[in-house]
Structure 1
C-alpha cells in the first residue's frame, strides 16, 4: 500500500517542488474555507460521528479513535472514542496533518522508531502514542479536512481488511458532513424565507390597516392575497385555522385571536371559540347554530351549520337587525 514517507512529508507539508509558495498558500486558504463552510468547528458531539469513531476503534482493535479536523493552527477533535481527555492540540504536533495529505491510509507502526515522530510530545508524553493509522477526510471537491484515525499505546500493524475499512469509514464521515451541511443550509434558507414572509405580511397589514379589506396568507411558501369580503367563515384547528372563501379553503398557522384582529370588525363576529363568521353570510339562526352560505358553486344553496357558543350568543344577536 502506498504510504507517505518522512522525506515526502517534508515536501508536501512545505512548498512542493514545482509549486510556488503562493499556490500552496492559496490551496491552504481554499481548504480552510471549505472546512469553515461545514460550520462544524467547536460544535457539540453528534451521535453520527461518535458512532463512526467507535466503529474505527472496534475494527482496528485500538483503545482510541478520533475524528480530527485540521484548522489553521490546531487540530480539533469532533468525535472521540476511548480514553482521550484533550479536545484539541497544536497543529505542529498533529499526526493527522500528515495523514490528511497522504495518498492512502497513513500508518505509523511504532512512533518511537519513526524519525518524524519520535520527539513528538504526544509520543514522549501523555497520551504516549506508539501506533497511529489515519484515513483522510476528502471533500467532493478534493480538499482534505482532517482524518478519522486509530491510536494505540503499543506498536501494531493494520491488516489489509482494516485499512480498507478505515478508507470506507472516512468516506462515511464525509457523507455525514455533507448531509449536515445541507441540513444547515436548508434551515438557514427557511429562516430567511420566513423572515421575508413576515416582513411582507407586516407591510401588507400596514398597507390595509385602515380598511383591512385584504389579508395575505402563507400557502406552500407563497403569499396569497385574500379579499376579506370573500371570506365566509373561519374555523380553528389547534395551532392552525381554516379560512373558507367562496372558492377556496386556506389552512394557515395562526390563532383565532390573531386572525380576528386582522378581519374588519364591522363585518365579522366571533360566535364560538372555534368559529368566526361573516355576518352578511348568515342566512338563518336555528337554536344554538347559525347557517352560513358558503357560496361555492358546487355547494350553492347548501348552507353550512355552525354552532354558537353560549358566551357569544348575546353579542351576536345584538349585532343583527332583529324584528
Structure 2
C-alpha cells in the first residue's frame, strides 16, 4: 500500500491542543485499508492491550483509559479500564477521531467549555468527561489507526513526563499490533503450506497409484520429494511421524494410517502400532523385534536398530517373509 502523508491532503496540520481537520476521502480509504489489515476489529479482549491501558491510567492518574480504533463510521474499543462502560460510538462524536490525526498527544483540558466538544454525548451525558488526552497509534507507513487515551471526569493537565509516557505506550500498542499481525500471517502461511502439502501428496498418489514410489514431505517450509525405496522404517511420535531413510530423518505432521496408505503395500508392513518397516530392509528377527539395515555407512560399526513387533502384527509379518 502506498504511503500517503496527511500533509498532502489536509489543509493545515493540527496544532498542539487543537483538534485535527478531517483527511481527504482518498487518504481515508487508505487509512481504513491499513486498519483492517490488522484484523483487530471486533476481536475479544487481550491481556497485552488491557495491561497497557491500566498502565496509562496509573501513570496519568486518571480513572479511565482506552485503546480505541477509528473505523469508517465508528469508534471501536479494543481495551478499556475504568468505571465507564463504552461500546461502539459514532465516530463523529469522539475525541479520538481528532487525536489520531494529531502530530503529538492531543490534550483537551475542559471539553465542556470547548465549542467543538461541549455537545458530545460523552460530555453532556452520564460519562461527564471533563478531560481527555490521546496519543495517536500510527503504522510504520504513517497511517493513524486510533489512540491510546486517558479520560477523567474532572479537568486536569498532564505533566510532560505523563505526555511522554503516553507516547511510549502508543508505540507499545503498535508493537503488539504488528506482532499480532505477523503471527496471524505466519499461521496463514502455515495453513497454505499444509494445503499445498496435502495437494502435492494427493497428486503424487494419483500419479503413482500403481507403484506409489514417491511421496512429498514438508521440511523447513519447503516440500521435499522422498523415494519410498529409500525409506527404511517409519516411527509414530504423537501427532507426528518420523520417516527414516538411508540419509535423513524427516519429521512430518501426519498419522500412521495416512502414511501407510501412501506407501507401496508390497514393500512395507505395519509391525507395531508405532512402526512401519520396509520388508527388504529387515536383516534379522530376534524374539519380538526386527533388525533394520539403515543403509548408512557411519552406522556400519554400530548395531542395527531393533524395532519391536506387536503381538497382533507378528503372524502377518511372518506370513509375508520367505521362511525356510
> 1:313: which partner in 2?
314
Q: Does 1:154 align with 2:154?
A: yes
Q: 1:56, 1:166 within 8 Å by CA — same for their partners in 2?
A: yes
SS in 1 for 2:298: coil
Superposition pairs of residues 70-85 of structure 1, within 5 angstroms: 70-85=70-85
Give the deviation of 1:247 after TM superposition.
2.5
Gaps of 5+ in 2: 1-14
Give the deviation of 1:303 after TM superposition.
3.6
Distance in 1 of aligned mates of 2:271 and 2:261:
15
Superposition pairs of residues 25-44 of structure 1, within 5 angstroms: 25-44=25-44
TM-score scaled by length of structure 2: 0.89
Distance in 2 of aligned mates of 1:41 and 1:90:
15
Q: Does 1:238 align with 2:234?
A: no
Give the deviation of 1:295 after TM superposition.
2.1
Give the deviation of 1:65 after TM superposition.
0.9
Gaps of 5+ in 1: 16-23
Q: Does 1:322 align with 2:323?
A: yes
C-alpha distance after superposition, 1:207-232 (max 9, x if no partner): 11121122222222222222222222
C-alpha distance after superposition, 1:270-299 (max 9, x if no partner): 222222222222222232222222222233
Q: 1:4, 1:103 within 8 Å by CA — same for their partners in 2?
A: no
Over the aligned positions, Cα root-mean-square deviation in angstroms equals 1.9
Give the deviation of 1:242 after TM superposition.
2.2
Give the deviation of 1:102 after TM superposition.
2.1
SS in 2 for 1:126: coil
Give the deviation of 1:249 after TM superposition.
2.3
SS in 2 for 1:174: helix
TM-score scaled by length of structure 1: 0.89
Structure 2 CA distance for partners of 1:13 and 1:295, relative to 1, 3 Å: same
> 1:21: which partner in 2?
none
Structure 2 CA distance for partners of 1:61 and 1:31, relative to 1, 3 Å: same
Structure 2 CA distance for partners of 1:193 and 1:259, relative to 1, 3 Å: closer
Superposition pairs of residues 161-172 of structure 1, within 5 angstroms: 161-172=161-172
